[in-house]
Structure 1
Amino acid sequence: MVELLKVHGSENKFFILDQTKLENQLNDQELSALGQTICDPKNDILDGADGVLVVNNAKDPNAIGQMRVINADGSEAKMCGNGLRTVSRYLSEKFDKENFEVETLEASLDVKKSTDLANNVPAFSVEISPISFKAADLPFSYKNMDEMIDEKVPEFLPKQTFTSIAVPNPHLISFVDKISEEDLGQLGKYLNSPNEYFPEGVNVSFAEIRGKNQLFVQTYERGVGFTNACGTGMSATTLAFALLHLDQFDQAKDIEVYNPGGMVKTHVTLGKTKEESQIHLIGNATFTDKIEVTENDLHNLDFSNIQIKPTKEEDSYQDFIYSLNK
């Protein structure tokens, strides 16, 4: 039998598959099909998910494992901050380590176990890197700009300004007085359909500044749509916040980032150049269910005979969320 995990970081939900435990690993085509099948809520597998996190042996000798991110639409993301926290917990428990590196498609990143957010709500801190503002790295094209930082783009929305950052996933960020889900949804769909500005699509985040080092962020995620939380989106948004709103930013303290799925913290250290800045994302790594399936059924995408065992960690996480909203 193969064990999958249903997990979440800030209610950004995933399945974890450890390929190193399979006799025959899934190829890229099978992984894409798995993502589309198991994540679709219509297939009634624990209400679906935003993606599949695939654990492989690392090629980098300094890392203890590799993470690949398969989105719900079968595409592959370069990174996922919320997902990396859950994979970090999985590898931490697998290898009995609390501070180590995890290999992603772009870089091997430092991760470490953090203080639990609450009773039975384990947390991890993960490095978000590399950072780029260059148009070619997102990529984007608009009026021959090399960078887009706090720019008016009336073709998107006439009354807002936008900042683009790759971490390495591409993000488009706008600070607003009040988030309009209608505007966010329309812009997100537009920029993730064939368009002249972001040919590979982009994650779109709107953010409200709610106080010193305090934000609320909502994201329309490339390959997913509206999501409860996007780890790299919140990370990129806090960097934009630190650069553009110095009067509201205290570098000595963590930034609290609220989202539809709960709350995370980031720690932003501004560098000599904005690309040399450092971002660490700190938040929950919750395992909600363990799923057993035969390897043959996994290859055949047959989930009719799976065995599911809840962990009860979600109850503790919801208690934590309730405490935030008191």
Structure 2
Amino acid sequence: MTREFAKMHGLGNDFVVFDATREPLTMTPELARAVADRRLGVGCDQILVVEPPPAPDVDFGYRIYNADGSESGQCGNGARCFARFVRDRGLSDRNPLVVATIAGRMTLAIADDGQVRVDLGVPVFEPADIPFEAPRREPTYNLAMDGGRELMVHALAIGNPHAVMVVDDVDSAPVSVQGPAVERHPRFPARVNVGFMAIHGPDHVALRVFERGVGETRACGSGACAAMIAGRLFHGLDETVRVDLPGGQLAVSWAGEGEPVYLTGPATHVFDGRLPMSMETAGNHGGR
């Protein structure tokens, strides 16, 4: 059996998108890893599945699978691609759309210029809800690392857990070393996305993100939001901030605690194809 898919990206954060509204799709960890494999599969950071609405007051279900086969609760770049996929495939003409993930509901709005604005919901700061092991909420936390070193991080959740570190320069930040070490730090029992943020002004930051289950990506929408939120709470950022990532620019707006965070950026369709769904043949895909 084969299934149609679309290859899409948001600032280089790339996705394989499946329509499961007409025919169910069981995305096992093994199949997700095969699809995401950049040598034997299609290749992507994450796999997105469009599902029928799980409740009468939402338009679609939205499932997100990381390249390592684990399931994610949030992906801002993926949400923008999700919205464009739904519109391009004629699955719905509603604007905005309300979609349900395993972490909650999101609202997606497509502007006339093609930019997509995503309401990622209200951020969470209590350690038990992130989840993060700490006796109480603090502005920053010290993580004990191997070799006796400590790293200072901000911790919060926006569907996914995030750790944000402030650095002087993102180009020289030790993302490849500290990213995987923090991602799997024992104080983050569900692992964590790790952001390295350099602040260039009250309305401008640069960011690199090591995503849990993926590695470093060219852009991370929820990571951009997490960095902006930490910067607004503790480093004097404005209500709307430009976030420069290796793949391009995103705009993040957040009014403050108790309010939702909004992410705006592009979504790009790359190509369509058909993919064998058996594990034995998942590596032999064909574009069209």
Please report the TM-score for the alignment, with normalisation by the length of structure 2. Answer: 0.90
Confirm or deny that 1:185 pairs with 2:185: no
**Comparing both chains, which one has the higher relative contact order based on Cα–Cα distances under 8 Å and sequence gaps of 6 or more?**
2
Confirm or deny that 1:279 pairs with 2:261: yes
Stretches of structure 1 lacking an aligned partner (at least 5 in a row): 117-121, 310-326
Q: 1:298 to 1:18 in 2, by over 3 A?
A: same
Aligned residue for 1:113? 110
Q: Give a deviation string over 1:153-193, Cα, whole Å, max 9, x none.
A: 45489585311010020000011111366633222212334
Aligned residue for 1:250? 238
Structure with the largest fraction of helix: 1
Query: Given residue 126 of structure 2, which amino acid in structure 1 is its aligned partner?
Result: K
Match 1:125 to one of 105, 117, 122? 117
Q: 1:175 to 1:305 in 2, by over 3 A?
A: closer
Stretches of structure 2 lacking an aligned partner (at least 5 in a row): none
Query: Given residue 139 of structure 1, which amino acid in structure 2 is its aligned partner?
Result: P
What aligned pairs does 1:1-326 form with structure 2 within 5 A after superposition? 2-22=3-23, 25-27=24-26, 30-43=27-40, 45=42, 48-93=43-88, 94-116=91-113, 122-142=114-134, 144=135, 146-153=136-143, 155=145, 161-179=152-170, 183-193=174-184, 195-246=185-236, 249-251=237-239, 254-270=240-256, 274=257, 276-293=258-275, 297-300=276-279, 302-303=281-282, 306-309=285-288
Q: Give a deviation string over 1:201-242, Cα, whole Å, max 9, x none.
A: 111101011223111110110000111111111111111111
Q: CA deviation at 1:34?
A: 2.1
Q: Give a deviation string over 1:281-323, Cα, whole Å, max 9, x none.
A: 1011111011124xxx3244525664424xxxxxxxxxxxxxx
Give yes or no for contact 1:34–1:301 (8 Å, CA) kept in 2. Answer: no
2: CA distance between counterparts of 1:106 and 1:91?
20
Mean Cα deviation higher: 152-161 or 63-72:
152-161
SS at match of 1:292: strand
2: CA distance between counterparts of 1:141 and 1:250?
30
1: CA distance between counterparts of 2:124 and 2:161?
9
Number of matched residues?
Answer: 284
Please tell me the root mean square deviation across aligned C-alpha atoms, in Å: 2.2
Q: Give a deviation string over 1:75-112, Cα, whole Å, max 9, x none.
A: 00011111011101122342122212111112221110
SS at match of 2:205: strand
2: CA distance between counterparts of 1:279 and 1:268?
5
Q: Give a deviation string over 1:246-303, Cα, whole Å, max 9, x none.
A: 2xx332xx31111011111111111xxx2x032101011111011124xxx3244525
Identity, in percent, stands at 28
Give yes or no for contact 1:165–1:172 (8 Å, CA) kept in 2. Answer: yes
